[in-house]
Chains A and B, each alone.
Chain A
């Protein structure tokens, strides 16, 4: 009876996807091409959805390993910061004409502050996954406090212009270069280890590395030797000024240096995933690294050949900024399910995880088609029909995909450190993380001139 009920619900969802979605999309009008604003809003929704769900998992289900809950909390904070980033950006784009100049500056500062916040969650993520680098609570506390202190201290330096911006950029980039070596080391150590348990760590680190570092120059791997000049240099589209006193600024040099580790990591992974023995192959990792490699190649072609500024800016959004809106959530959710970071033995958790996976699929497909529509403005009715069909298939296959990814087996085992932290430490960590985020927004408020 229950099975029949599930079948009915599934059939209804597929039919709705096939019939309702094309109609709704067609209603949007044939002339409407996708804008970056649509993507920003969809990214905001996706990131906040994942952050909220993870926080629910962490706070509601305390029987999971504290180590996993702590990692989930860092990921939740990362997605929350990305969500705030996209929310501020969409507000700026939507209300530019009605908001005051200072409000625009404030929102733009929040965007930068959240960028900085996410950058400082990267070290914590790498410290905690695939297995914690530290086995003692005091060391983990020190790492968390150091990250929060660096964030607030450097933001204060920037806001009150206490030290030259150049010093801030150099110190932060050196810090990032060092922390990016953590997943690289996991991968180099164990990718072709004969022990499956060790290999799992390398595969997890590889996927995590792509998920996080994809926004740190992986798509610009072709610029590793600066052969093309111009916009092929990774970091040129960032926040640092490209020129200083008529020559290339040191800020740009250091920003580019930060991306060299991720670029080399990608190229090594592409090589390794193609030559690794057949019984060691990880299909998802091989697919992801090869896909990123080819997008990087396309990125070089677009930057080198396309003169149309509209197309270039759309590509810039997709290839550079869209990465942490689109690719990162997908890889992170895959990691969480694959390596059982969410306690999937609990039936309630499993139900919610499945529901979130469905919503994630829907939002993700909509985003991909917004991008598709942006580059190839095919008639809305046609794209709507394609979305309906794709979504129907994905939802239809969701059951099999979900079970396949979320199953517990030998290739999902990672090291669990006993008595790593106290269970209550997770809530404390989230509180400190949120407080730090709020303080960052407040410093942005001060920096906008609304207070001083």
Chain B
């Protein structure tokens, strides 16, 4: 049973349904006319006007080119002295960030013997970086044996995570697969502090080190080719 408030006003009140339901009839009639008009207009419109060339779904072949960009800063630091280093990460339209690596070298070559062990503490400031990567604070000892005494890595996306062939997608949809690689832009900064540990306060024998900071940006470029 239909609700009495919603029932069609027809035979009960006399006259035809169309007459008693004048507003509804006009509304539905107009709606049908507009639907027909729009259907004809849409079917006869030039598809390029409607979708634009970059909006059309098609098959894509993607070509990836990876490369490394690096920037080095070096300073002679004395005990408990700090240095700052930073790099501005910018990406062009087809470039995507794979990873950012910060390497610290401080080879303790003038170490006179046991008990003389220098350390570096690195504190990163990533508040000016897009995408909110995690800031880190780490300490590493300046060892003669290793080339890098401290390595910090931030990974954004791997080119290998996206299939080189994409089917039935618009260019924007394909580009959205690389959204992760568009984060990480902005100013990457770090403060590096050297701690010199000497037994018995023999500071004259081991007073400081040369500290080198190397920023490495692994970037890949994507070429979007229509198949």
**Residue on A with the closest CB to B186?**
A31
Q: Does B34 sit within 8 A of A, measured CB to CB?
A: yes
Cα distance A247–B44 when bound, in Å? 8
CB neighbours (8 Å) of B56 from chain A are 242-243
CB neighbours (8 Å) of A246 from chain B are 47
Please, what's the 1-or-0 string for B124-161, where 1 marks a CB less than 8 Å from any CB in chain A? 00011110100000000000000000000000111001
Q: Does B172 sit within 8 A of A, measured CB to CB?
A: yes
Query: Given A181-B28, A233-B50, A268-B27 in contact, is the A133-B128 Cβ separation under 8 Å?
Result: no
CB neighbours (8 Å) of A190 from chain B are 5
CB neighbours (8 Å) of B24 from chain A are 184-185, 188-189
Q: Check A256–B3 contact: CB distance below 8 A.
A: no
Q: Check A243–B51 contact: CB distance below 8 A.
A: yes
Query: Which single member of B37, B129, B172 contacts A309 (CB below 8 Å)?
Result: B172
Cα distance A224–B49 when bound, in Å? 17
Q: Does B109 sit within 8 A of A, measured CB to CB?
A: no
CB neighbours (8 Å) of A85 from chain B are none
Query: Which single member of A96, A186, A188, A226 contacts B42 (CB below 8 Å)?
Result: A226
Q: Check A225–B37 contact: CB distance below 8 A.
A: yes
Cα distance A29–B31 when bound, in Å? 51
CB neighbours (8 Å) of B161 from chain A are 96-97
CB neighbours (8 Å) of B18 from chain A are none
Q: Check B127–A264 contact: CB distance below 8 A.
A: no
Q: Check A243–B38 contact: CB distance below 8 A.
A: no
Cα distance A226–B161 when bound, in Å? 40
Q: Does B163 sit within 8 A of A, measured CB to CB?
A: yes
Query: Which single member of A201, A230, A241 contacts B5 (CB below 8 Å)?
Result: A201
Q: Check A264–B57 contact: CB distance below 8 A.
A: no
Query: Which single member of A133, A225, A241, A261 contacts B6 (CB below 8 Å)?
Result: A133
Q: Does B35 sit within 8 A of A, measured CB to CB?
A: yes
Query: Given A97-B158, A97-B180, A226-B38 in contact, is the A135-B3 Cβ separation under 8 Å?
Result: yes
CB neighbours (8 Å) of A230 from chain B are 49-52
Cα distance A88–B168 when bound, in Å? 22
Q: Check A247–B43 contact: CB distance below 8 A.
A: yes
Query: Given A188-B23, A264-B30, A264-B31 in contact, is the A233-B42 Cβ separation under 8 Å?
Result: yes
CB neighbours (8 Å) of B23 from chain A are 188-189
Query: Given A131-B5, A264-B30 in contact, is the A96-B49 Cβ separation under 8 Å?
Result: no
Query: Which single member of B47, B163, B172 contacts A243 (CB below 8 Å)?
Result: B47
Q: Check B38–A260 contact: CB distance below 8 A.
A: yes
Q: Check A97–B157 contact: CB distance below 8 A.
A: yes
Q: Check B49–A29 contact: CB distance below 8 A.
A: no
CB neighbours (8 Å) of A136 from chain B are 1
Query: Which single member of A101, A133, A242 contacts B50 (CB below 8 Å)?
Result: A242
Q: Check A184–B57 contact: CB distance below 8 A.
A: no
Cα distance A97–B96 when bound, in Å? 13
Nearest CB on B from A110, distance (A):
18
Query: Which single member of B27, B39, B179 contacts A96 (CB below 8 Å)?
Result: B179
Query: Which single member of B38, B57, B129 contacts A241 (CB below 8 Å)?
Result: B57
CB neighbours (8 Å) of A224 from chain B are 34, 38
Nearest CB on B from A206, distance (A):
14
Within 8 A of B (CB), among A149-174: none
Cα distance A129–B161 when bound, in Å? 48
Q: Which 8 interchain pairs have the tightest Cβ spacing? A: A229-B49, A188-B23, A29-B127, A226-B41, A257-B35, A242-B51, A135-B1, A97-B157
User: Which A residues fall within an 8 A CB radius of B?
Assistant: 29-33, 93, 96-97, 101, 131-136, 139, 181, 184-186, 188-190, 198, 201, 224-226, 229-231, 233, 236, 241-243, 246-248, 252-253, 256-257, 260-261, 264, 268, 309, 313, 415, 417
Q: List 6 A-B contacts (CB under 8 A).
A: A31-B127, A135-B1, A201-B5, A225-B38, A230-B51, A242-B56
